[in-house]
Amino acid sequence: MNVNGYKVARQDIRLIRGDSHRLGAICQTYDAAGKLIPVNLTGWSGFVELRSMSGVLWWSGQCDMTNDGYAVTDMSSDTLTAAVWHGRSTGQWKCVVTSPANVVSTLAWGYWYLTD
């Protein structure tokens, strides 16, 4: 069984209360010539999560998967305006995808900051 590891660099994001947000990541690999190319994510599944700093799940959205490597989800403008979000200003986020062969990969992660 082969195991491939790679570094997923931290990507912090700023969320603005009352704005719509598109969250996600791109999945890429190297071709035989060493050129970076997108992975066709047709048939894959994915999600983006916003969690507290202690790991409590606060929001999750299913990703739309594209044939040019993107896994993205949309957050509506009213999502972060609910009263419960007024006490939440920072946390962790990640974008995770699962291949048709059931291989799970984290494409992106980091910290999020909510501002007005």
Indicate the CATH number of 13-115 among 3.20.20.100, 2.60.40.1930, 3.20.20.70, 2.60.120.1440. 2.60.40.1930
In the predicted structure, residue 8 carries a pLDDT above the cut 90: no
Task: Report how far residue 65's alpha carbon sits from residue 43's, in angstroms, rounded to the nearest whole number.
Answer: 8
- Give the burial class of 92: count Cβ atoms within 10 A of its Cβ; 0-12 exposed, 13-18 middle, 19 or more buried: middle
pTM (2 d.p.): 0.88
> For the chain, which residues make up each domain, given as ranges?
13-115
- Give the burial class of 87: count Cβ atoms within 10 A of its Cβ; 0-12 exposed, 13-18 middle, 19 or more buried: exposed
Per cent of the chain over pLDDT 70 is 94
pLDDT digits 0-9 by tens, 20-69: 999 999 999 888 898 989 999 999 999 999 999 999 999 999 999 999 99
**What is the DSSP secondary structure assignment for residue 19, as one 8-state letter?**
S
Cα-Cα end-to-end distance for the chain: 48
